[in-house]
Chain A
Amino acid sequence: MTTDSPMAEGITPEIIAEHGLNPREYAAVCDSLGGRAPSYTELGVFSVMWSEHCSYKSSRVWLAKLPTTGPQVICGPGENAGIVDIGDGQAAVFKMESHNHPSYIEPYQGAATGVGGIMRDVFTMGARPIANMNALRFGSPEHPKTRHLVSGVVSGIGGYGNCIGVPTVGGEVNFDKSYDGNILVNAMCVGLVDVDKIFYAAASGVGNPVVYVGSKTGRDGIHGATMASAEFDDDSEEKRPTVQVGDPFTEKLLLEACLELMAGDAIIGIQDMGAAGLTSSGVEMADKGGVGVELNLDLVPCREEEMTAYEMLLSESQERMLMVLTPGREDEAQKIFEKWGLDFSVIGVTTDTGHFVTRHKGEIKTDIPLDTLANNAPKYNRLYTIAAAPAKITLEEAPAPNSLKHTLLKLMGSADLCSRRWVWEQYDHMVMGDTVGRPGGDAAVVRIHGTDKSLAITTDVTPRYVAADAIEGGKQAVAETWRNLSATGATPLAITDCMNFGNPERSEIMGQFAGAIRGMAEACEALSYPVVSGNVSLYNETNGQAILPTPAIGGIGLIKDTEMRASAAIGAEGDTLLLIGPERGHLGQSLYQRDIIGTAKGAPPPVDLEEERKNGTFVRELIAAGDVSHVHDCSDGGLWVAVAEMALAANIGADISLGNQDLPAHAILFGEDQARYILSVDKAKSLEILEDARENGIEIRELGFAHGDSLHVEGGDEVKLADLRKAHESWLPDYMNTV
């Protein structure tokens, strides 16, 4: 240790380093304690509160640049989850969060507790969870661990969500070798709350009881937040004991008990014990309420004997909540938790000291100014270099394939584009009886129970675009969610972001982060589509190899009348297919280039936000008017892939023409130009729409018509739907069943 900072007896520079604090940070810890050395327990508390995971120390300066307000926003970032108004006194509460590191070490429990944690964030606010989503990224299919990880993560997500009875309605799964040693598991939850029954985390008032409810505290997950803030190496397996173990049955009971208590007015503030457990929930609640807190750790329900203060404060045991109650209402609350068979213990009181004080067996274990823990964490303006945008590729760099037909079959049967049925059939996607748009479409659609309204929900990002050009890639991720929501007929409301990147201490990684934020901010601004919640996961590296930059975006939108929505299937035999949006044959960074030619190169497709807004609004208005009910957005894989997906969904073929004769066929069919939608409508309606679009300056053309049992393209190539379905449906089950 190079500083002169004081050290308590038994504390060594190595112990401080193991707590993830560098010498300057340790000096700041001593400063904030008025110059004295922290005790071992206090060191543990600072370690988790100042970890990247809890403090956002590398990302805060950038996150501040995202637009977070709008007339629809009830609660933006900083609370447990974001909240947007959906009319009639109701609001949607949602957030996406990463559980990457634990899921790599122990895929079933890592993924399961990721789902459990995000649901607690939502019901902590008084909302009943109504839908779960997830964004998963695995290593190359050839990597020896990939199968095991896919299998464990998918059953973990299902195991938790199925049991608690909240439908898992969709998500995304991708494969890339950059995730070989560091998979991504991002879980999103959407809940429903009455606007006048929202609960926040602030613990206002002095002398109010602080209550612990839920499962007992064990030694699991100690230092999870610190682990999530470091890179992996070959010994990461040894961190298995830091992964928490989930119990979805207890979470179901906790959910029902909390909502039952929340129906009344006994709760002043409530916060789930997630990362950094009791420490983080106690500190955050007191800090938000501008009070102090004193906890008696002797009263914490423990499932193991002889737990130390350090262990209790840092345990990340699951399915626990901390509440501050109105004095005198303890009995009423206790009755409800006892009915559901859960622990209930008054463990402390709010104070006017502004300190986080904990006692154990008669000794004071921590006495730390709260303000310093919550707000004085180091804030870094790290060096960053945004890589220059690469040049657009020439057509010579993406030559024509030998066969268009075989190209389509290969793409539709590839790891990234094949059917995810094997995954979502393991998720209960129908429980709660409101899933009107099941997995497999552009966005999932879930009815608001007992109303005509629905919410559309989607998650998207194209990491290879972000790697090539972080700004355009960040923009594209936001725009694609907006497009997927619009394609169902929903008015996009807001997003949650889950920013997965490598080590921020490297300037090129920080440059990816900064660039992605810049692009996202631009898109959110242009589309009136603010960020209301999110999470940052850095240090996604193994042995110095970073993942592809992956700012996963979760978007939600409102459908006012569930009858007026669109599905991503062809409507009927004989329908006209219309293509809305540009045809520039952009093959740079396309799946065609990556999977057929061999390497993705050049600039990703540019995103014209004005065009996105115009085209999306046009499509949405057609759906709302009842003119169109079959729409699919055109994204990864390009035009012919989108048509193929619509055809398979309806089991009706399609004949399409090539339009722009200046471009080669493969560029038209597999180019990934943005802001595009395909509509399937009857002939008479198509003429009206064509005219309407032209009057509004929307780029549109008649693409073809729905017909027969095969896909046919102008110039000769024909693919039987049966062959296409086989290629599309068999890749994932075949892969998973290979030993």
Chain B
Amino acid sequence: MKAAVIVFPGSNCDRDVAVSLKDAMGCDADMVWHGDAEIPKTDLIVLPGGFSYGDYLRCGAMAAQSPIMKDVVTKANSGVPVLGICNGFQLLTEAGLLPGAMLRNANLKYLCKDVHLRVERNDTIFSRHYTQGDVIKIPIAHHDGNFFADAKTLAQLEDRNLIAFRYCDSGGKITDEANPNGSANNIAGIYNENGTILGLMPHPERLADIQLGGVDGKTMFSSLVETLH
């Protein structure tokens, strides 16, 4: 399997996700500079976390105009799987590959901590090694992760079963207290219609190593590798 990690000026979780990919795939991911016109042939595109263009203007807004994004959109539309983590999720919404937008966290502060997520689907290439309804622990680290969409879009996401993960308590209950940033319907991550694009605010690559305190994130990478291998 081959994976490409897109590196924007200000990306800072590019190496972290490359480490998790290598652990899962057994080989190095291609690190692709944002100024390039084309991504080498790949089975997976990853838009990593960080502060592309310093998050100036709006998170992900400037990176969405980078030269490489044309090819990301083309490949995504032709079915190449895309994983957008944190800043990568913000970027997917700015690029129009996923609906909605991210507002400031409800408490207006940057938040870095482990949160619980409920796995809403396990029938996608990203989630097949999870069990539906599983409660997993994965960290968030963002200032603008408050998922927002208008009522119609939210209803579509819900009706078409496009919610990937929701913030929940340790028992799997979806509560306001368990919602760290004010996201609509406790949404932490969403899929596109065919389940080939996943955007999520939590960082699976940060708990994919037992020395770091957990391996729930590793399951996402092993799911991908088994499917795309």
Contacts and interface: CB of A to CB of B under 8 A. Distances in A.
A165 interface: yes
B211 A253 contact: no
B211 A341 contact: no
Interface in B3-19: 9-10, 12-13, 15-16, 19
Contacts of A432: 15-16
A440 to B, nearest CB: 12
Given A249-B56, A431-B16, A433-B206, A425 B113 contact: yes
Contacts of B206: 430, 433
Nearest to A256: B9
Interface in B140-168: 141, 143
Contact of B51 (A165, A340, A436): A165
A165 B113 CA distance: 16
A428 B141 contact: yes
Contacts of B199: none
B142 to A, nearest CB: 9
B109 A163 contact: no
Given A433-B206, A435-B212, A447-B211, A428 B54 contact: no
Interface residues of A, number: 32
Nearest to A447: B211
A537 B56 CA distance: 34
Interface string B1-43: 0000000011011011001000000000000000000000000
A164 B12 contact: yes
Contacts of A247: 54
Nearest to A163: B51
Interface in A235-258: 247-250, 252-253
Contacts of A563: 211
B31 to A, nearest CB: 12
A227 to B, nearest CB: 28
A563 B211 CA distance: 8
Nearest to A565: B211
Interface string A407-449: 0000000000000000011111111111110100000000100
A163 B142 CA distance: 10
Nearest to A425: B113
B165 to A, nearest CB: 18
A431 B51 contact: no
Nearest to B11: A165
Contact of B139 (A155, A340, A427, A430): A430
A426 B111 contact: yes
B81 interface: no
Interface in B39-72: 49-51, 53-56
B45 to A, nearest CB: 20
B10 A249 contact: yes
Contacts of B19: 433
Interface in B76-125: 109-113
Contact of A253 (B9, B15, B50, B209): B9
Given A249-B9, A249-B10, A435-B212, A430 B54 contact: no
The majority secondary structure among interface residues of chain B is mixed
A562 interface: yes
Given A430-B212, A433-B206, A163 B111 contact: no
Given A248-B54, A426-B111, A431-B16, A340 B212 contact: no
B141 A431 contact: yes
B224 to A, nearest CB: 18
B205 interface: yes
B112 A155 contact: no
Contacts of A424: 112
Given A249-B53, A249-B54, A433-B19, A165 B109 contact: no
Contacts of A226: none
A447 B55 CA distance: 28
B51 A428 contact: no
A605 B192 CA distance: 63
A163 B55 CA distance: 9
B16 A249 contact: no
A158 B110 contact: yes
A432 B110 CA distance: 17
A350 interface: no
Interface string A527-570: 00000000000000000000000000000000000110000000
A385 to B, nearest CB: 46
Contacts of A435: 212
B211 A252 contact: no
A486 interface: no
A118 B141 CA distance: 23
Given A163-B10, A249-B56, A435-B212, A428 B15 contact: no
A164 B110 CA distance: 14
Taking each of B12, B15, B19, B139, which has the highest tally of chain A beta carbons within 10 Å of its own beta carbon? B12
Contact of B9 (A158, A340, A426, A430): A340
B51 A162 contact: yes
Contacts of A433: 15-16, 19, 205-206, 209, 212
B109 A431 contact: no
Given A247-B54, A249-B56, A425-B112, 14 more contacts: A162-B51, A163-B51, A165-B12, A165-B13, A249-B51, A249-B54, A249-B55, A252-B54, A428-B112, A429-B112, A430-B203, A431-B13, A432-B16, A433-B212
Interface of B: 9-10, 12-13, 15-16, 19, 49-51, 53-56, 109-113, 139, 141, 143, 203, 205-206, 209, 211-213
17 contacts: A155-B109, A159-B110, A162-B51, A162-B112, A163-B10, A165-B12, A249-B53, A252-B12, A252-B54, A426-B109, A427-B112, A428-B110, A430-B206, A431-B49, A432-B15, A432-B16, A433-B206
Interface of A: 155, 158-159, 162-165, 247-250, 252-253, 340-341, 424-436, 438, 447, 562-563
